[in-house]
């Protein structure tokens, strides 16, 4: 059975100034490799996509990607799907628009590994290895937000990766004291940071609060 990725419009204004691509996570399942629009890892990204779109409906084009298959297949990873989506967006809107990738869990890993094709990346509770440093980095803006109580994706590994990425990109790390992998607890913090960071890096909006602290050369913030 042929499995293909799907790109879903969240908000596409007539003349966008920037593009946000939202990437879901989700572990593999032996009974079904297919991605369902109703699986929790996909639904988890809906409020985040809506929050980003609401940041500027006139200038931000926001898309969600449904991967071709669940989990992380070594022969075809979510990074391949993200690159497919970026190519489709460039063909539709033009290749000159700046891109922000926003991903959760394995979607966060995919966003980071595809960072060379974007201006900025938000990785939420990313499931990563410390060696996940992609080629092509040249000063991209990267924000990692990870709950300290995450028992699925290791905050220690994402912190180690943040330190490795800092040699090639501008990296900020927010540790959420009572945050878990689902991001349900303090979800407004996760959603809000993603939306504000995307709008600031793509549209030049001023930042405040934790992001202002990161902008003032405080690369590590605990909330």
Instruction: Tell me, yes or no, whether 50 lies in a domain.
Output: yes
Strand boundaries in 133-217, DSSP class E:
141-147, 170-176
pLDDT confidence of residue 138? 93
Domain span including residue 61: 6-222
Q: What CA–CA distance (Å, rounded) separates 217 from 146?
A: 19
CB 116 within 8 A of CB 136: yes
Residue 160 vs residues 18, 129, 130, 139, 213: alpha-carbon distances, Å? 30, 8, 5, 18, 20
Q: What is the pLDDT along the chain (223 residues), one digit of tens a residue?
A: 578 999 999 999 999 999 999 999 998 877 668 898 999 999 999 999 999 999 999 999 999 999 999 999 878 899 999 999 999 999 999 889 999 999 999 999 999 999 999 999 999 999 999 999 998 999 999 999 999 999 999 999 999 999 999 999 999 999 999 999 999 989 999 999 999 999 999 999 999 999 999 987 789 999 9
Instruction: Tell me, yes or no, whether 150 lies in a domain.
Output: yes
Q: What CA–CA distance (Å, rounded) separates 200 from 75?
A: 35
Long-range contacts of 185-191 (CB under 8 A, 24+ apart): 185/147, 187/47, 189/145, 189/223, 190/48, 190/124, 190/125, 190/145, 191/47, 191/48, 191/51
Specify the number of domains making up the chain.
Answer: 1
Instruction: Tell me, yes or no, whether 165 lies in a domain.
Output: yes
pLDDT confidence of residue 82? 98
Strand boundaries in 17-116, DSSP class E:
18-23, 60-66, 99-104
Instruction: Tell me, yes or no, whether 180 lies in a domain.
Output: yes
Say which CATH number the domain at 88 has.
Answer: 3.40.50.1820
pLDDT confidence of residue 1? 57
Q: What CA–CA distance (Å, rounded) separates 145 from 140?
A: 16
Q: Which of 174, 197, 198 is nearest to 186 (CA)?
A: 174
Instruction: Tell me, yes or no, whether 66 lies in a domain.
Output: yes
Instruction: Tell me, yes or no, whether 68 lies in a domain.
Output: yes
pLDDT confidence of residue 166? 95
Strands 141-147 and 170-176: parallel
Q: pTM here?
A: 0.96
Strands 6-11 and 60-66: antiparallel
98-120 pLDDT tens trace: 999 999 999 999 999 999 999 99
Q: Which of 202, 198, 212 is nearest to 102 (CA)?
A: 198
Instruction: Tell me, yes or no, whether 119 lies in a domain.
Output: yes
**Helix, strand, or coil here: 202?**
helix
Instruction: Tell me, yes or no, whether 1 lies in a domain.
Output: no
């Amino acid at each position: 059975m042929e499995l293909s990725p799907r790109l879903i419009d969240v908000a596409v204004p007539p003349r966008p100034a920037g593009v946000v691509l939202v990437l879901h996570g989700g572990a593999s399942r032996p009974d079904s490799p297919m991605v369902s629009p109703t699986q929790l890892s996909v639904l988890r990204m809906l409020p985040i996509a809506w929050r980003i779109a609401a940041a500027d409906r006139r200038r931000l084009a926001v898309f969600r990607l449904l991967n071709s298959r669940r989990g992380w297949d070594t022969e075809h990873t979510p990074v391949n799907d993200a690159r497919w989506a970026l190519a489709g967006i460039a063909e539709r809107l033009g290749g000159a628009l700046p891109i922000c990738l926003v991903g959760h869990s394995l979607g966060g890993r995919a966003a980071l590994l595809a960072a060379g094709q974007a201006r900025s990346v938000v990785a939420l509770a990313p499931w990563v290895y410390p060696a996940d440093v992609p080629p092509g980095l040249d000063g991209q803006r990267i924000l990692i937000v990870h709950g300290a109580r995450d028992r699925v994706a290791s905050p220690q590994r994402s912190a180690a990766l943040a330190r490795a990425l800092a040699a090639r990109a501008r990296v900020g790390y927010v540790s959420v004291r009572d945050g878990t992998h689902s991001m349900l607890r303090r979800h407004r913090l996760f959603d809000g940071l993603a939306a504000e960071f995307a709008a600031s890096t793509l549209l030049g909006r001023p930042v405040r609060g934790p992001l202002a602290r990161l902008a003032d050369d405080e690369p590590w913030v605990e909330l």
